[in-house]
Amino acid sequence: MDMKTDHTDPIWMTAHRGFVMALSAVLVFLTMMSWASAQQTRPQWRGWQATQTQEDRVGELPSPPASDTASSASPALAPPALAPPPLAPPALAPPPLAPPPLAPPPLASAREGAANGALVSAAGSPDPALQSPPMVEPSRFQPGEYVLGVGDRLRIIVFGEEDLSGEFVVDSTGRVSFPLIGEIPAALSSVSEFQSRVEEALREGYLNDPRVSAEVLNFRPFYILGEVQRPGEYPFNNGLTVLNAVATAGGFTPLANQTRVFIKPAGEGREEEIALSPATPVAPGDTIRIGKGAFYILGEVTRPGEYPFSEGMTVLNAVATAGGFTYRANQGRVFIQREGADREQTLRLEPNLRIEAGDTIRIGERFF
């Protein structure tokens, strides 16, 4: 018997429908359970998100309400700590006492003392800021200590004896011709010594108690020679200096040595060379000689010849004054002969090689 399923059987159809409905119910149930589970987890996720946002806001705390602030007592703040006072600086030690100044060495003469501060050493001029200004000392004689000489005019007064008083001149023999007593030696004597001689001569057979006063009216002249415009004899004035004497004689010539001067005092046979300064004094009867301050340059320069010298001059300055080197000049060495020397010296030509007044400079010729 052939067995076949009859799908039109009412029993089978009823069972099939029931199975489909049960399966549909299960699916609906599962869907509902899934939706309910999703609804339960959604609020938790939102709360976690809000918590994370609040944690990210570090330090941003909401300010309490005004009512809470007013009602709650805030704790008292501690005062800020005071900074420690600054330490006092350490006391400075007193500076060491300076050693007592050394006494200056004795000067060669009164003239050199007046010219102190104007000397220039061979190594170079000292710093002007360290140099004291030259001291202007008075004339190196006082009228009461003045030594009389030829040419001095004197006023002699014998008290109570007008016939014996008057003006007298020391003649070329160094004597004064006086009424009654004749010639009285005066040269090389001070004024006080001359007064005593006159009183002594009058006391010998003429006056019982003579009183004599003598004074110098006009000092004997001074003489100036050498490199000045008008050399000659000029009257002396008290306080005269060498520069005053030069001005009286018309000034220096272009070749004059304006740093050194030669002076021969009256009655002496040797002149004295000293540094020339504004305070160099002159005494009556002095003979002043202004030397030549030129130098001579020969050889390979553009204009050889004689030129004025100035203090601190170098060989290169002298060459420039003479127009510079020629193209054949040996610029590595120079020949210099000092004034009064018997031969010249061979020296390396350096920028700071100085010359002196009266030097003869020779620039040689190069061989290649």
pLDDT of residue 296: 93
212 with 182, same domain?
Answer: yes
The predicted pLDDT at position 40 comes to: 62
Question: Rounded mean pLDDT of 74-97?
Answer: 50
User: Over 70: is that where the pLDDT of 95 sits?
Assistant: no
For residue 13, being part of any structural domain is answered with no
Instruction: Please tell me the predicted confidence (pLDDT) of residue 41.
Output: 54
Is there a single domain that holds both residue 214 and residue 227?
A: no
- The region of weakest confidence among 19-33, 146-160, 350-364 is 19-33
Please check the confidence at residue 94 and state whether its pLDDT lies above 90: no
CATH number at residue 153: 3.30.1950.10
Residue 300 lies in a domain: yes
pLDDT for residue 342 is more than 60: yes
Q: Domain of 212?
A: 143-218
pLDDT band at 1 (very low <50, low <70, confident <90, very high): very low
If one compares 72 and 243, the residue with the highest pLDDT of the two is 243
Residues 192 and 158 in one domain: yes
Rounded Cα distance between 170 and 266, Å, is 14
Asked which of 136-145, 173-182, 316-325, 344-353 is least confident by mean pLDDT, the reply is 136-145
CATH number at residue 358: 3.10.560.10
Confidence band of 8 (pLDDT split at 50, 70, 90): low
Same domain, 320 and 272: no
Residue where a domain terminates, one of 234, 261, 290:
290
Asked which of 76-90, 245-259, 264-278 is least confident by mean pLDDT, the reply is 76-90
Reported pTM = 0.50
Residue 233 in any domain: the answer is yes
Percentage above 70 pLDDT, the chain: 67
Q: What pLDDT shows up at residue 307?
A: 92
Q: Are residues 315 and 285 in the same domain?
A: no
Q: For residues 172 and 35, which has the higher predicted lDDT (pLDDT)?
A: 172
Whether 368 is in a domain gets the answer no
- pLDDT score at 42: 55
pLDDT 10s digits, 232-263: 999 998 889 999 999 999 999 988 988 889 99
Any domain includes 7: no
Q: Give SS3 for 155.
A: strand
What local confidence, expressed as pLDDT, does residue 247 receive? Answer: 95
Average pLDDT score over the chain: 75
Q: Choose one of 218, 235, 258: the last residue of a domain.
A: 218
Q: How confident is the model at residue 293 (pLDDT cuts 50, 70, 90)?
A: confident
Based on the fold, state whether residues 305 and 352 are members of the same structural domain: yes
**Is 122 part of a structural domain of the chain?**
no
Do residue 262 and residue 230 come from a single domain?
yes
Q: How confident is the model at residue 61 (pLDDT cuts 50, 70, 90)?
A: very low
- Asked if residue 303 has pLDDT above 70, the reply is yes
Residue 107 confidence (pLDDT): 40
SS3 of the chain: the string is CCCCCCCCCHHHHHHHHHHHHHHHHHHHHHHHHHHHHHHHHHHHHHHHHHHHHHHHCCCCCCCCCHHHHHHCCCCCCCCCCCCCCCCCCCCCCCCCCCCCCCCCCCCCCHHHHHCCCCCCECCECCCCCCCCCCCCCCCCCCHHHCECCCCCEEEEEECCCHHHCEEEECCCCCEEEECCCEEEECCCCEHHHHHHHHHHHHHCCCCCCCCEEEEEEECCCEEEEECECCCEEECCCCCCEHHHHHHHCCCECCCECCCEEEEECCCCCCCEEEECCCCCECCCCCEEEECECEEEEEECECCCEEEECCCCCEHHHHHHHCCCECCCECCCEEEEECCCCCCCEEEECCCCCECCCCCEEEECECCC
Considering the domain architecture, whether residues 161 and 211 belong to the same structural domain is answered as yes
Residue 304 confidence (pLDDT): 95
pLDDT above 90 for 51 = no
Indicate if 164 and 206 belong to the same structural domain: yes
- Is the same domain home to 282 and 299? no
Determine, yes or no, domain membership for 354: yes
Domain count, the chain: 3
Q: Which two tokens stand for residue 242?
A: 């060498």
In a domain, 66, yes or no: no
Quick one: 275 and 300 in the same domain?
Answer: no
* pLDDT tier, 90 (very low <50, low <70, confident <90, very high otherwise): low
Which of 178, 200, 218 is a domain's end point?
218
Are both 272 and 306 inside the same structural domain? no
